[in-house]
Every structure is written in structure tokens, then in C-alpha cells.
């Protein structure tokens, strides 16, 4: 099968089609219909009303692109996190990138990579120690210019294992993001199925199409921090800083108590200590610096989070026989209520502040 492109003005050109089909497909400009056979495809513009051919399969460029875009919009919307992470990992391979940020939603919300071109932010909601380490190895094994790893970690991070969560929505992050990228379920036995809205095709370059249509950063005009809050309040027309203190305290108590339940995950705690030790040894061998950063939280969330998490985290950090830096901003007075988008995540203003603090830490 050959694909011919009947070029028409600036509307339809062969070079446009080369961005859509994979390299194995033979595409050429149609100069004559004499060599066209029944199995060939001819792509034409609807505006090219004078063209006629009774051989091959005719595809109208405008209809094809419209249908393709509809698939793309659905696919990216459903599997946004996977494509973001895949795109950001590719970015982290670039020579100008020397600092890799990983961690959960605290890093996802808190680090604004647009401020510094040397940063790559591969964090995502609920990303645990295991998958953070997978990402670190994936990037550092391919980019020898990586000098710094920033691990943004909550106090309860050692008690978190995404693959063992009972929340099916959270567990689907394994099937939608990490299994497609790393072919690794970690401790999960069964995970929810992965949905896809993109057509099966052996001639389209799906990866190229996704890359071409994806964004440079997780948040932006296309995806606002304020629309992605991890807790929901009754009147969503009001921002976090517009709801009452009583409502804030109620939501923070609910959120912190949900996190407090993980204190019983002793096996996970022990496994994550082993992963953290292995991570440190790997980075030592690579001569890469590790920065462990505890993000800030609102005063009400701090009030209700189990203090044992902090005690256990510092016990681990202080006993690890490796050199790494800790920046603990949990109680930092540099942040106030106006810096948050919800109970424990930073808004745009707070993210700028947080990213600048991390930059100062690395540069100094």
C-alpha cells in the first residue's frame, strides 16, 4: 500500500502528512494517477474540487484531521498523566537538564519548571517512593548531566505504596501511567483496565502525534491548579482562600485523618526504607546530589496530621549512612494561607515561591 498526497495550495502538503504517519509508510506527492492501484490511498483536500480519480481509496484531508483531533482530545484527556510523564521523562534526557524533581502531588503542584530551564518535574499525584526511584534510574541512566535529584516528600511518604491502595481510582494510576511506561505493577496483583480512545493503526505515528499536541508543563491555561484540588468543598465558585475558616478546618481534619490511617502500613514502611537506601547508593555511585524536601501545608492540616510521621521520617533520615540534604518547609513561615489551593497543596503563587526556594538551595 502506498499513500499519495494530492498537494493543494498551503492547505495540504506532503510535509504535513509526514508528521502524522510513521516512517515505515511510503508517502509521496501525487503527480499522476497512472501508477495508483486499488490498494493505495490518496489524500486530497475538499477544496480541490477539480480533482477526480476512480482508483484507490480517497481520504479527505479535512475530515481525516478532524476525526484524528477528536481521538487525540479524548485520549489525552483520559490518559493525561501518562503522556505528561512520558513527555517530561524525554525532556529530562536533554543535555541542558541537570536537576530532576520527583515525588507526589506536592511536587506536582509545588514545582514550576517554567521558571528554570534546567529543571524537569516528573512528579505526579500519589507517586510513591518505588515509582520515583524507577523514574530517577530511567533518567540518570540516560542523562549523565543530571547533578541533582529533588525528592519532594511528605512525612507519611515512607508509609505509601500506590500499588497496594484500596482506592480503585488511585490504583488505576498504576494501570494508566506506570505499567504502560515501565511494565511494572510493583506489588499490585490486579489493577483496573486501562482505557484508550485512540484508534488501532499500523500506519499512524501515535507517539509523534501525542508529542506534537502535548503541553510543555502540567499546569497552565489548559489545566489550572484550582481545578485539580485534592479536596472538594461545597461551593466550588469560591477559592480556598474565600471559604470560611471553619470549613477549612473541617476539610483539613478530613484530609489529615485519611493520611493518618497509613501509619499502620509497617511492611510498606520497611520496604520504602530499603528503596531509599538503594536510591542513595545509586546516586552516590552516580555522584548525584539528593535533596529531600518536605513541602509546606496549611496550619489546620498541620494541626491534625499525626506527629509520629515526622518522628519516624527523621529517625530514618538521621540513620541513613549517606550524605543528602533535607529542607523541611512543613512549618515554614515563608508560606501563609494565601499560598495554598487546598488543604496541603500550593497554588500558582505558592509554587513560584516554593520553586525559588528550591533553586536557592541547589545553587547555594
Q: What is the pTM assigned to this prediction?
A: 0.93
Residue pLDDT, tens place only, 136-158: 999 999 999 999 999 999 999 99
Instruction: Measure the CA–CA gap between 349 and 284, rounded to whole angstroms.
Output: 34
Q: Cβ distance 151 to 134 under 8 Å?
A: no
Burial class (CB in 10 A: 0-12, 13-18, 19+), 38: exposed
Give residue 285's pLDDT.
98
Residue 213 clears pLDDT 80, i.e. is over it: no
264-295: b (≥16 Cβ within 10 Å) or e? ebeebbebbbebbeebbebbeebebbbbbbbb
pLDDT computed for residue 141 by the predictor = 98
Domain locations along the chain: 3-73, 80-196+203-363
- Alpha-carbon distance 136 to 21, whole Å? 32
What is the per-residue DSSP string for 17-84?
HTTTB-TTS-EEE---STT--TT-EEEE-TT-TT----SSEEEEHHHHHHHHHHHHHHHHHHTHHHHH
Dihedral sign computed on CA atoms, order 12, 13, 16, 17:
positive
Handedness of CA 38, 40, 46, 52 (dihedral sign): negative
226 with 346: CB under 8 angstroms?
no
Q: What is the rounded distance in angstroms from the CA atom of residue 307 to the CA atom of residue 347?
A: 25
- CATH architecture observed for domain 80-196+203-363: 3-Layer(aba) Sandwich (3.40)
**pLDDT, position 83:** 94
Contacts of 19 (CB under 8 A, 6+ apart): 208, 212
- pLDDT score recorded for residue 209: 86
**What is the average pLDDT across 3-26?**
93
Q: How many residues does the chain have?
A: 364
Q: Band of the pLDDT at 231, cuts 50, 70, 90? A: confident
- Residue 85: is its pLDDT beyond 90? yes
- Min mean pLDDT across 50-64, 188-202, 348-362 is at 188-202
Q: What is the pLDDT of residues 295-314, one digit of tens each?
A: 999 999 999 999 999 999 99
The reported pLDDT for the residue numbered 121 is: 97
pLDDT tens for residues 86-98? Answer: 999 999 999 999 9
pLDDT in tens, 110-128: 999 999 999 999 999 999 9
Share of the chain above pLDDT 70, in %: 100
C-beta of residue 140 within 8 angstroms of C-beta of residue 288: yes
Amino acid at each position: 500500500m502506498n499513500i499519495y498526497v494530492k498537494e493543494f495550495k498551503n492547505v495540504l502538503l506532503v510535509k504535513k502528512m509526514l508528521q502524522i504517519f510513521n516512517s515505515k509508510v511510503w508517502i509521496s506527492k501525487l503527480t499522476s494517477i497512472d501508477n495508483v492501484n486499488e490498494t493505495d490511498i490518496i489524500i486530497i483536500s475538499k477544496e480541490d474540487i477539480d480533482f477526480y480519480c476512480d482508483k484507490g481509496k480517497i481520504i479527505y484531508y479535512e475530515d481525516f484531521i478532524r476525526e484524528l483531533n477528536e481521538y487525540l482530545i479524548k485520549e489525552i484527556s483520559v490518559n493525561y498523566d501518562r503522556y505528561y510523564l512520558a513527555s517530561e521523562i524525554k525532556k529530562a534526557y536533554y543535555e541542558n537538564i541537570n536537576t530532576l524533581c520527583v515525588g507526589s502531588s506536592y511536587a506536582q503542584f509545588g514545582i514550576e519548571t517554567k521558571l528554570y530551564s534546567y529543571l524537569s518535574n516528573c512528579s505526579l499525584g500519589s507517586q510513591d517512593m518505588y515509582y520515583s526511584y524507577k523514574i530517577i534510574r530511567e533518567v540518570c541512566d540516560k542523562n549523565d548531566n543530571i547533578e541533582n535529584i529533588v525528592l519532594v516528600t511528605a512525612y507519611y511518604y515512607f508509609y505509601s505504596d500506590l500499588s497496594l491502595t484500596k482506592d480503585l481510582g488511585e490504583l488505576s494510576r498504576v494501570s494508566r501511567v506506570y505499567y504502560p511506561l515501565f511494565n511494572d505493577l510493583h506489588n499490585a496483583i490486579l489493577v483496573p483496565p486501562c482505557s484508550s480512545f485512540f484508534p488501532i493503526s499500523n500506519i499512524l505515528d501515535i507517539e509523534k502525534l501525542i508529542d506534537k499536541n502535548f503541553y510543555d508543563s502540567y499546569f497552565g491555561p489548559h489545566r489550572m491548579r484550582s481545578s485539580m484540588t485534592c479536596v472538594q468543598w461545597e461551593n466550588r465558585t469560591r477559592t480556598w482562600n474565600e471559604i470560611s475558616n471553619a470549613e477549612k478546618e473541617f476539610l483539613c481534619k478530613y484530609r489529615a485523618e485519611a493520611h493518618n490511617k497509613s501509619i499502620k502500613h509497617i511492611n510498606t514502611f520497611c520496604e520504602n526504607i530499603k528503596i531509599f537506601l538503594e536510591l542513595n547508593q545509586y546516586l552516590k555511585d552516580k555522584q548525584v546530589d539528593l535533596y529531600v524536601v518536605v513541602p509546606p501545608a496549611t496550619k489546620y492540616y498541620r494541626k491534625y496530621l499525626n506527629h509520629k510521621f515526622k518522628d519516624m521520617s527523621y529517625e530514618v533520615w538521621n540513620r541513613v549512612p549517606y550524605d543528602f540534604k533535607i529542607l523541611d518547609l512543613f512549618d515554614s513561615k515563608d508560606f501563609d494561607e494565601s499560598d495554598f489551593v487546598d488543604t496541603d497543596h500550593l497554588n500558582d503563587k505558592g509554587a513560584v515561591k516554593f520553586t525559588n526556594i528550591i533553586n536557592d538551595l541547589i545553587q547555594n
